[in-house]
């Protein structure tokens, strides 16, 4: 399997499965699937694929600007957040960066591969539920003399959330030391509050990244965006390939931002199913990190056996042994539909029991 979750293609090849035979808990995607109005817009725009996409993504950026109340000039859309993560160190020429551990691995990969930047890890403690502590991180900012600090909020794979007040305090410290703070809010829609996107205009060192693929169940279309200080936005655009976001993804993003009913339904379903999973984990004596997101980090002494057993049942979970700060005893599972969650718990019980 690759370093990320969601690689169902390798899984299907290995186990001779089809899409129908796979339940993918390794990718944390909204179990409701794409909103109906988004699917309709994708179909409606199929006739436009004979033309190149709008390279400036005007309508999509205008819709994001209206939704977030930010200047459209500060918005850069990308082929998923991953594209923006890889563009940042290249455009800004980062040489030294700080990031917590464990956290999403592409931050480090982007900085090391593209710029050969040095990376300092701020290790999070298991006995503190891998929480990001404000005081400790500010101390790292003051002593690090780094170009940038990457934070994922809620953090991936732990699901732990930094409150907005604490994050703004970290942002002020970064500003004081002329260090860029990149806050990846790819999963914050599942929290429903706490974004710091409204603070970007007041802080020339604050960058906020957003994903539209997780919450709106569109990972195959690849769509993300960032809100940047104006100078950073211009630098990113200079390094971005033309036609980065395709026509269907642009149409889908515009439609998704209009669907408030879908957002409310998602929060209800995820909230209910999280209780089902937490109750099930507790009944199995499976240690889990309390999560604000739509996934859970589990620690199981026989995690490898559990993962293998589940794979043979057509259930794919995320092996977290390649996250710095974790080991082979950790896996991550997404929050999915009622039947799928019960299926997961049933088979976990068979293996653990």
Q: Convert the pLDDT of each residue in 35-81 to its tens digit.
A: 999 999 999 999 999 999 999 999 999 999 999 999 999 999 999 99
State the span(s) of the chain assigned CATH 3.90.1150.10. 8-34+261-352
Give the pTM. Answer: 0.96
Report the percent of the chain where pLDDT is more than 90.
92
Residue 334 has pLDDT above 70, yes or no: yes
Phi and psi for 45 in degrees, rounded to 5?
-95, 5
Is the CATH number 3.30.70.100 carried by domain 8-34+261-352? no
| All CATH 3.40.640.10 domain ranges in the chain, comma separated | 36-256
Cα–Cα distance measured from residue 95 to residue 149, given in angstroms and rounded to the nearest whole number: 12
1: pLDDT strictly greater than 80: no
Could you please report the per-residue DSSP string of 184-204? Answer: E-TTGGGT-S---GGGGGG-T
| pLDDT at residue 19, as a whole number | 77
Q: What is the CA radius of gyration of the chain?
A: 20
pLDDT confidence of residue 3: 66
Domain 36-256 classification at class level = alpha beta
Cα torsion at 163, 169, 172, 174 (round to 10°)? Answer: -80
| CA proximity to 65, closest of 264, 256, 260, 254 | 254
Q: How far apart are CA 62 and CA 39, in angstroms?
A: 21
């Amino acid at each position: 399997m690759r370093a990320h979750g969601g690689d169902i293609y390798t899984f299907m090849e290995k186990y001779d499965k089809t899409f129908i035979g796979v339940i993918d808990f390794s990718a944390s995607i909204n179990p409701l699937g794409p909103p109906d109005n988004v699917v309709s817009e994708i179909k409606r725009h199929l006739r436009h694929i004979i033309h190149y996409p709008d390279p400036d993504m005007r309508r999509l950026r205008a819709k994001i600007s209206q939704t977030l109340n930010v200047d459209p000039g500060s918005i850069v859309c990308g082929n998923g957040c991953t594209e923006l993560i890889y563009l940042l160190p290249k455009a800004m020429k980062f040489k030294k960066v700080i990031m917590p551990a464990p956290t999403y691995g592409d931050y480090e990969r982007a900085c090391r591969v593209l710029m050969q930047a040095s990376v300092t890890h701020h290790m999070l403690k298991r006995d503190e539920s891998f929480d990001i502590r404000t005081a400790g991180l500010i101390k790292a900012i003051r002593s690090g003399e780094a170009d940038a600090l990457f934070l994922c909020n809620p953090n991936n794979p732990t699901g732990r959330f930094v409150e907005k007040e604490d994050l703004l305090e970290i942002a002020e410290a970064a500003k004081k030391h002329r260090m860029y703070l990149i806050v990846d809010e790819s999963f914050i829609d599942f929290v429903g509050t706490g974004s710091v996107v409204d603070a970007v205009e007041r802080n020339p060192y604050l960058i906020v990244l957003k994903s539209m693929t997780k919450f709106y169940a569109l990972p195959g279309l690849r769509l993300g965006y960032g809100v940047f200080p104006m100078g950073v936005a211009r630098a990113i655009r200079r390094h971005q390939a033309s036609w980065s976001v395709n026509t269907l993804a642009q149409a889908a993003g515009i439609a998704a931002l209009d669907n408030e009913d879908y957002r409310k339904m998602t929060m209800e379903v995820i909230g209910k199913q999280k209780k089902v999973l937490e109750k099930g984990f507790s009944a199995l004596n499976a240690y889990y990190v309390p999560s604000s997101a739509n996934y859970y980090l589990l620690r199981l002494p026989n995690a490898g056996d559990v993962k293998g057993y589940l794979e043979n049942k057509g259930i794919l979970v995320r092996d977290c042994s390649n996250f710095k700060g974790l080991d082979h005893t950790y896996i991550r599972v997404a929050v999915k539909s009622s039947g799928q969650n019960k299926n997961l718990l049933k088979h976990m019980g068979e293996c653990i029991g």
